[in-house]
Amino acid sequence: MELTTFFANLFIYTFSIFAGILLTFKLLWPKIESYMLRTSSLNRSKAFLRENLQLTYTAYERLLLFTLRIEPYQLMLRMHNPNQSVSEFRQALIQEIENEYQHNFTQQLYVSSVAWHTINELKKNTISLLKNSSDGLPKEATLDNYISVVLKHMKELEPNPYEDAQKILKRELSI
């Protein structure tokens, strides 16, 4: 009889402990699950913010490079071809600006509207400068004459719009 009582008591204690553990698990599981979901969500948010910040930095870097690449002196130095006429050269410069702009068009997703507006205006004004600089030239003007006129107009610009655009981009990036 003692053995039967022992096993009966063992069964009752084991069942009670198992029932207690099951009840505790059932009560605590929603809290554990909620904590795990919040932790997972926070980790995803941090990863998203880190990735978004990297994209923003990259966008500002690319737009800074864009302002340098469309600056007339740099552009004419890079695109100079003495075998071109003034109109061919001017058209090649404008096409290069358009290509650079199209290459960087999606950067507007990651920069402020002020920064993007500054880039747009800089592009438009650069193209206008290149077009208008050839208006007063005689038909027989050389490429060097055209380059001189463009550089003269650039010196007259106060403040320098390319430097101002770069300052705006750098200031926004440091915020």
For residue 74, the model assigns a pLDDT of 94
Q: Tens digit of pLDDT for each residue in 103-140? A: 999 999 999 999 999 999 999 999 999 999 988 788 88
Angle at 96 between CA 90 and CA 97, to 5 degrees: 95
Q: Which residues fall within 8 angstroms of residue 168, CB to CB, at 6 or more apart?
A: 114, 115, 118
The rounded percent of the chain whose pLDDT value lies above 90 is 60
In contact, 76 and 130? CB cutoff 8 Å? no
Name the amino acid, one letter, at 33.
E
The total of other beta-carbon atoms located within 10 Å of residue 45's CB is 10
> What own/partner pairs with CB < 8 Å and gap ≥ 24 does 51-56 have?
52/110, 55/110, 56/110, 56/111, 56/173
Please report whether residue 23 resides in a domain: no
Residue 112 lies in a domain: yes
166 touches 67 (CB < 8 A):
yes
Peptide bond into 159 cis (omega under 30): yes
Residue 68: give the domain boundaries.
Answer: 53-174
Q: pLDDT tens, 84-95?
A: 999 999 999 999
Dihedral sign of CA atoms 30, 36, 39, 40 in order = negative
3 occurs within a structural domain: no
Residue 147, in any domain of the structure: yes
Give the tens place of pLDDT for each residue, 5-42. 887 888 888 888 888 888 888 887 888 788 777 877 77
pLDDT band for 80, please (50, 70, 90 cuts). very high
Q: Is residue 120 part of a domain?
A: yes
Counting the structural domains of the chain, the total is 1
- Look up residue 59 and give its two tokens: 């966008």
Residue 32 lies in a domain: no
Other CB atoms within a 10 A radius of the CB of residue 116 amount to 17
Joined tokens for residue 115: 């920064």
Give a yes or no: residue 40 inside a domain.
Answer: no
| Residue 21 falls inside a structural domain | no
